[in-house]
Amino acid sequence: MQDSECYRACYRRLSSDPALEYPQAGRPPHKLPLAPGLGAKVSTPTPPPFQAANQITMRSSLIATGLGSLRASGARPAVFHAPWTTISRPASRRSAVEQARGGATLVDTPTATTHDQIDALETAARQVDAASILKAAVRATGPRQNWTREEIAAIYYQPLLELAHQAGVLHRRFHHPGKVQLCTLMNIKTGGCTEDCSYCAQATRYQKGTGLQAKRVETVESVLAAAKTAKENGSTRFCMGAAWRDMRGRKNSLKNITDMVKGVKAMGMEVCVTLGMIDDEQARQLKDAGLTAYNHNVDTSREFYPNVITTRSYDERLKTLSHVRDAGINVCSGGILGLGESSEDRIGLLHTVSTLPSHPESFPVNALVPIKGTPLGDTTPLAFTSMLRTIATARLIMPATVIRIAAGRKTMSEEKQALCFMAGANAIFTGEKMLTTECNGWDEDSALFGRWGLEPMKSFEKKAVEGVEAA
């Protein structure tokens, strides 16, 4: 359905004149957008009641009033097609996560409920100056923490090539465009987690189906040996993950982990840990040990989060990030795409992270790797365009942040990875494994760098940009 058809639907309900037609606002009548596959131009006369009106004003007021009328009656246009987005009626009334688990294809079109779609229509109707919002983002001289969801949506829904191009332009001002950091992630404590994250094989409740065997915490010696191997293969950041809910009652484990942090730091590498929820004192101990960054993803939007995890609240995640930030540790926080969320949820994720008191030093972007035996084990992979849009938008709203392509990169071609780098991604995870999923190996990534002319980023390396505040 074209813009004009949606407008007619709104107008007919107001005027009760089923024959009345009018052009899309801001475009001559002979340049109406065409439905996919149609080649003929459409000429539609301007209706007499609006001949003297400003077309943009007419469009905004008509859509707003029309949507109100449609909501009141319970009806609505099936599709609203505008320059920034396409929102389609879902084929099923099942929840998004149910559709994902059933194998529904997840693309940029939201898999939302009827009410969600009407709200999204209203959001889209407000995005009348998307180009100006994008231009302002590209001209940024430093981080900004007061983004609105509407502004982020205006950027996210830009034509994809333009979005990726502008993100690349901004990326070159804040970062070395040809440098990408190699990071290695080690699972220092496998399985046995009490959480119910729908995507994770390490949850105790799913281990019977996944076949994952729980293991105790690795020794300090084995972890430092793995870090040494990672460094010898070119990694400059070493991350350690433990599968548990929090650090309560784990004094001995925390002592061992601080020893690991000190050892990795002594190698000249950046060191990051992800240990679940921590309090102020635990954060301080990790800082004193020399920790570079603490990873604690928010995963998705606040609205969609309960569909994925019920054993830990969204606010508990944000509280942990606050403890980390207050201790003076760099925050690493991102999300997982392809959980069954809509594009509006991806925008919500970006809004949460970009409006933290300070932007995270790192924003990991994970594509769900479906693991048999977990609730999301049969999920259809996310469309790559959603990954690219998220990376490009993240770069535009968090210009100084390092954007890390994390889980799911193994399924991406070199060409897709290159597009991500062009759009602002500048770090990848490499090595033998990424927690419980496959990871691109060092030799594979070395060849990738050689073919695409990429250069490994050094530890603690960051481009100095004149007039730009530090993140």
Distance CA 10, CA 301 (A): 31
How does DSSP assign 108-175, residue by residue? SS----HHHHHHHHHHHHH-TTHHHHHHHHHT-SS------HHHHHHHHTS-HHHHHHHHHHHHHHHS
Question: Which whole-number Å values give the CA distances from 186 to 205, 217, 223, 336, 431, in the listed order?
Answer: 22, 11, 8, 19, 9
Nearest to residue 104, comparing CAs of 89, 117, 94? 94
Question: Which whole-number Å values give the CA distances from 462 to 143, 255, 269, in the listed order?
Answer: 15, 31, 14
Distance CA 201, CA 370 (A): 9
Instruction: Give the Cα-Cα-Cα angle 169, 174, 178 (nearest 5 degrees).
Output: 70
CB 184 within 8 A of CB 429: yes
241, two tokens? 């993950």
Beta-carbon count within 10 A of 3 CB = 19
Nearest to residue 22, comparing CAs of 40, 54, 47, 58? 47
CB 4 within 8 A of CB 30: no
User: Would you call 402 helix, strand, or coil by DSSP?
Assistant: strand
Distance CA 423, CA 66 (A): 37
Q: 31 forms bridges with which residues in the sheet? A: none
Distance CA 298, CA 334 (A): 6
First to last CA, the chain: 44
Q: How far is CA 400 from the centre of its chain?
A: 16
Catalytic residues: 193, 197, 200, 239, 272, 332, 404
